[in-house]
Amino acid sequence: MGKKVRVLIIDDSASVRQTLTRIFESDPDIEVIGAASDPFMAARKLQEDVPDVITLDVEMPRMDGITFLRKLMAQHPIPVVMCSSLTEKGSETLLQALEAGAVDVILKPKIGAADHLAETGMRICEVVKSAAHARLPATRRRFSGSASASGPAQKLTADAVLPPPTGKAMAKTTEMVVCIGASTGGTEALRDLLERLPANAPGIVVVQHMPEKFTAAFARRLDSLCEVAVKEAVDGDPVLRGHVLIAPGDKHMLLERQGARYHVSVRTGPLVSRHRPSVDVLFRSAARSAGSNAMGVIMTGMGDDGARGMEEMHQVGAFNIAQDEASSIVFGMPKEAIARGGVDRVVPLDQIAREILAADARR
């Protein structure tokens, strides 16, 4: 048994603190060491005991969460997961939190919805355990245990959404589709990558693990920063050169082909590799629909979502790259994809855009 991930909960709602405590206590790899109703109370607790991870509310009395986050990152960096209500305004604020140093984002659990709470609780626990392994700018992670990113719930594969590829490699066409998967640390890594691409870059589809509604704000932010056009995907959207489609939170996104044209299918379905959207689902759909016309990119993130799908892409002739350990906030997903043999090249974050453009030029 490895060391438990020790968590401090900061939220002004007593019911939310209680619900999060119950969720964390249901996971044998997590221990709640305390809860605070505002940042001032939290600061006093931090003087007594330093947790591995903090869950932090955005809007609180006396000091808002982002101000506290900035002070914490400047003085004593600890992995922080922001906890927010499901609102468009909240989503925009959470983008500021990620820029300020937050590792990831969770939605506040819906109190009283037992069926929803089980799935939400699993997602929350996965995010917190991933955060415990995050590399922060000014420090290495303090958590040194081996708490698993898995839990007791059944872990479904992409078989739950679509069948495996046939194994027949598709002939190359003139257009390449880039399929990208990322999780913990991926929001800022994706910004770095997409900002380096020109307006005529090949069409790109992205699965980034994040809550619903948050993906729309994330896409708008990237669109304002990048030469490529970025939007949250809608069912039936075409995959076009110079455009990036972000899978909507809580929906799977699949790549499909009609003739020489590609589009995306956005659909509901069970959690795959404990995620929705799932990188494995996107990558498998690329193996089925694009074959050697696809390029796979797997980036920072905890767990193994995308590793199987990338292997399937590799088997049908796709060219795949993985972000290297040194530039990853969490090296879990790239490491698993490399171990399965589906990766052709491992490169730092700042070289991924160059690899995409080079692969496009070779066609």
**308 pLDDT exceeds 70?**
yes
Q: What is the pLDDT of residues 202-229, one digit of tens each?
A: 999 999 998 887 899 899 999 999 999 9
Report the C-alpha gap between 231 and 208 in whole angstroms.
13
Q: Pick the more confident residue, 255 or 139.
A: 255
Report the C-alpha gap between 216 and 299 in whole angstroms.
20
Q: What letter would DSSP give residue 134?
A: P
What average pLDDT does this structure show over 304-329? 96
Confidence of residue 153 (pLDDT cuts 50, 70, 90): very low
pLDDT of 193: 98
Catalytic status, residue 305: yes
Q: Which among 133, 209, 252, 263 is annotated as catalytic?
A: 209
The residue among 314, 304, 301, 305 whose CA lies nearest residue 341 is 314
Instruction: Indicate the average pLDDT of the chain.
Output: 87
Q: Report the percentage of the chain scoring pLDDT > 70.
A: 86
**146 pLDDT exceeds 50?**
no
Q: Is residue 336 a contact partner of residue 181, using CB atoms and an 8 Å limit? A: no
pLDDT of 142: 37
Least confident among 21-35, 154-168, 238-252: 154-168
Q: What is the pLDDT of residues 267-293, one digit of tens each?
A: 999 889 889 999 999 999 999 999 999
Report the C-alpha gap between 112 and 310 in whole angstroms.
38
Q: What is the pLDDT of residues 9-58, one digit of tens each?
A: 999 999 999 999 999 999 999 999 999 999 999 999 999 999 999 999 98
Q: What is the pLDDT of residues 48-95, one digit of tens each?
A: 999 999 999 988 888 888 899 999 998 889 999 998 875 556 677 778
What average pLDDT does this structure show over 258-275? 91
Q: Which among 11, 29, 304, 305 is annotated as catalytic?
A: 305
Q: Give the DSSP per-residue string, 301-347.
A: -SS-TTHHHHHHHHHTT-EEEEE-TTT-S--HHHHHHHHTT--SEEE
pLDDT of 4: 93
Confidence of residue 172 (pLDDT cuts 50, 70, 90): low
Catalytic status, residue 209: yes
Q: Specify the 3-state DSSP secondary structure of 116.
A: helix
Q: Which among 84, 130, 183, 273 is annotated as catalytic?
A: 183
**170 pLDDT exceeds 90?**
no
Q: What pTM does this model have?
A: 0.84
Angle, to 10 degrees, between the axis of helix 332-339 and the axis of helix 307-315? 40
What average pLDDT does this structure show over 187-197? 96
**1 pLDDT exceeds 60?**
no
Q: Report the percentage of the chain scoring pLDDT > 90.
A: 68
Catalytic status, residue 183: yes
What is the residue whose two structure tokens read 């700042």?
A: 350
> What burial class does residue 119 get, using C-beta atoms within 10 Å of its C-beta: 0-12 exposed, 13-18 middle, 19+ buried?
middle
